[in-house]
Chain A
């Protein structure tokens, strides 16, 4: 039987049927030449494994997708906003139409009465008020005997705000007392109050049935000019920016006086707005910002909140608030106008002023660090005169106490290009050599990377507040997060560790299995959100997690650690299981839970380890896993 030699390669690809496979196996067994050919083909498969290359674009590609995804969400948000805007326009148009009809009817009433000659010319014209209605009713019987008897005005606690007539007439009636308090839309037959229902809806009047007796409810006379809403006092316009479902992350304050609104970002006025109808037109208060855009939106009936789509505040406005275009997270934006006490605004302004003060103290320290390869001065006196004229800025006063914490390393002054690291990596292929490299980096100060190390602590006495400035140049009010329950903190800390383990894994995947020498080497390519380096219970800026296995190839390390075993015993080892016992990152700070700490392991899993089991995990190099 003729045999197809291509079956040999299809056989080890598993592409033959069971019968064909059996036949091929027999063929290989029976013919030595075929067996030889089969082995040659099989060897050629392993050759291709030599030609595997790792690309270097992973992080940038994922970042591109992240940006793309953000764009998608923004577009979707814009489309939704357009729909919402269209709906609002429709509602406004319907309202305008109703208003025009109502006013047109007001003007038309005299003509109609004259042309139809129903009423004598002496009958008063105009919208039927509670006074004119009986007159109208009294005049009508002179022409027709079937006219309804005159209706009394209702004494019920109701106010007719408007009517829409046509095929589906409706009335907006404000109920002033009772459980249904507030304006509502009613149609013919709807119950307004107990035993009170709508019988008929006419232009600017509604006939009600009140326990069998018909009364008339007429529209209150609208003022010639709409009165401005009562916005006396201080109001806060909260600009809420956040991902859908997330807590608000941004806030600006707005002060209202008359029709002028001032928009604050901390202590700075970033814009002034003027109430124009129901819109707020903002103009810039500072030269760098061209325009803050117009916030359009319908205040609700209580004039206490409105929302606006993201596009309605200009990009500059968002940048003022720290949400620039570079922010990859899609945001929604809502504006909420709330009445606040003046004390609240004052305290916020005070806090903002203090933040500015601490920032002003940090600036000369930063200048020093930038000029001295990242090192902050050992004593504040070293700042004079290059960075600051005198040290009065740092002096303690009656209301504040300044504490400088020397020896911090500025993270900003310690960037090392990933390409440089790659050079070191490729020239030193073995763990021990790489450890030498790491030592060299450590000697050069790179491995001593400290993230947001606290350099300045300013304590204010009245009212009590503590602000800390860190080596990244940011200032935070020191607010211990006591609001989190222990369980929530533990879970939040575990999430941080999981992300750090993932970051380590990603670095390993792209660097031939080597773990990063420190967090400096993963920022910002792999680690974008540096806040995960701080445990939720710690002060902002604390380097909370101990990194246990810098710059080694864990797999190679495991093989070396077991090198003394004979091959048979070596073959028995489950490497994945071993990997799951090697601790890579651990909570460094004294966790309030005395029972143990969260630990991330080399395989990426995180677990809470009891205190008794912590010591053997601490020294990565001292034990065989």
Chain B
């Protein structure tokens, strides 16, 4: 695939995008919590992957490269937005256009809960977990991307999963109460 990209094969890029853009976009969207910015950053990361591959600069796998590029872009963007002091309570455009339909369902509620739980996680834990789950990166690649040790990554991912498990427990209890009430 990288060889084809290096030759400037746009169809190879097309295939590559199809294979990873959904996960990459999901990762960026959860990190930024803004749908529009997430689309921009994802596209930028994929374009940078293409340019780097064209110039033969992608040493690791394209997936790892795209995710670490996206992570760096996300970090930059978050840093800039913190500097420009986004007002407290500003509504984050987390929902994409497709979320408008059938969000009142049980599935939609669960999703809301998960997203809230993810948002409350420390940034490092959130990054590590999502790089693992969406990016399918191994711990070594995550450690390289986040600039942390393997042990730290292991602990961050564990803690993030534990927090999410608690949400699921609470949600299960809530659903149980609801059904009992009915």
Binding site for B on A (CB under 8 A): 5-10, 13, 15, 40-41, 43-45, 47-48, 50-58, 61-62, 64-66, 68-69, 72-73, 422, 426-427, 429, 506, 509
Given contacts A40-B168, A54-B98, A55-B42, contact A62 B10 (CB under 8 A): yes
Question: Which residues of the other chain, B, contact A51 by a CB distance below 8 angstroms?
Answer: 26, 30, 111, 114-115, 118
B140 → chain A closest CB, angstroms: 9
Question: Which residues of the other chain, B, contact A6 by a CB distance below 8 angstroms?
Answer: 154-155, 157-159
**What residue of chain B has the Cβ atom nearest to residue A66's Cβ?**
B10
Chain B 1-33 interface mask (CB, 8 Å, partner A; 1/0): 000000010100110011001110110011000
Question: Which residues of the other chain, B, contact A41 by a CB distance below 8 angstroms?
Answer: 158, 161-162, 165
Contact segment of B43-51, B63-71, B77-85: B43-51
Given contacts A15-B154, A61-B46, A426-B101, contact A43 B165 (CB under 8 A): yes
B13 touching A62, Cβ below 8 Å: yes
Question: Which residues of the other chain, A, contact B168 by a CB distance below 8 angstroms?
Answer: 40, 43-44, 47
In the assembled complex, B169 has its CB within 8 A of some CB on chain A: yes
- With A and B bound together, what is the CA distance between A69 and B55 in angstroms? 12
Question: Which residues of the other chain, B, contact A55 by a CB distance below 8 angstroms?
Answer: 21-22, 25, 38-39, 42
A53 touching B139, Cβ below 8 Å: no
Given contacts A9-B158, A41-B162, A58-B17, contact A52 B50 (CB under 8 A): no
B86 → chain A closest CB, angstroms: 22
**What residue of chain B has the Cβ atom nearest to residue A330's Cβ?**
B8
B157 touching A53, Cβ below 8 Å: no
B13 → chain A closest CB, angstroms: 5
- With A and B bound together, what is the CA distance between A426 and B101 in angstroms? 7
In the assembled complex, B58 has its CB within 8 A of some CB on chain A: no
Given contacts A5-B158, A50-B111, A52-B26, contact A64 B47 (CB under 8 A): yes
Contact residues, B73-115 vs A (CB, 8 A)? 96-98, 100-102, 107, 110-111, 114-115
A418 → chain B closest CB, angstroms: 12
In the assembled complex, B164 has its CB within 8 A of some CB on chain A: yes
Most A C-beta atoms less than 10 A away, residue of B21, B30, B96? B21
A65 touching B10, Cβ below 8 Å: yes
- With A and B bound together, what is the CA distance between A247 and B26 in angstroms? 44
Q: A51-B118, A55-B21 are in contact. List 20 more A-B contacts (CB 8 A).
A: A6-B157, A7-B154, A9-B154, A9-B158, A10-B157, A13-B138, A41-B165, A44-B164, A44-B168, A45-B161, A47-B114, A47-B167, A52-B134, A53-B26, A61-B21, A64-B47, A65-B50, A68-B47, A68-B51, A427-B101
Given contacts A45-B133, A53-B22, A54-B25, contact A40 B43 (CB under 8 A): no
- With A and B bound together, what is the CA distance between A99 and B76 in angstroms? 64
Contact residues, B137-182 vs A (CB, 8 A)? 138-139, 154-155, 157-159, 161-162, 164-165, 167-169
B158 touching A50, Cβ below 8 Å: no
Most A C-beta atoms less than 10 A away, residue of B42, B102, B114, B118? B114
A48 touching B114, Cβ below 8 Å: yes
B117 → chain A closest CB, angstroms: 9
> Looking at the complex, which one of A13, A45, A53, A62 makes contact with B98 (CB distance below 8 Å)?
A53
B6 → chain A closest CB, angstroms: 12
Q: Across chains A and B, which 8 residue pairs bring their CB atoms closest together, nearest first?
A: A6-B158, A44-B164, A55-B25, A40-B165, A9-B158, A44-B165, A44-B161, A426-B101
Question: Which residues of the other chain, A, contact B107 by a CB distance below 8 angstroms?
Answer: 50
- With A and B bound together, what is the CA distance between A425 and B138 in angstroms? 37
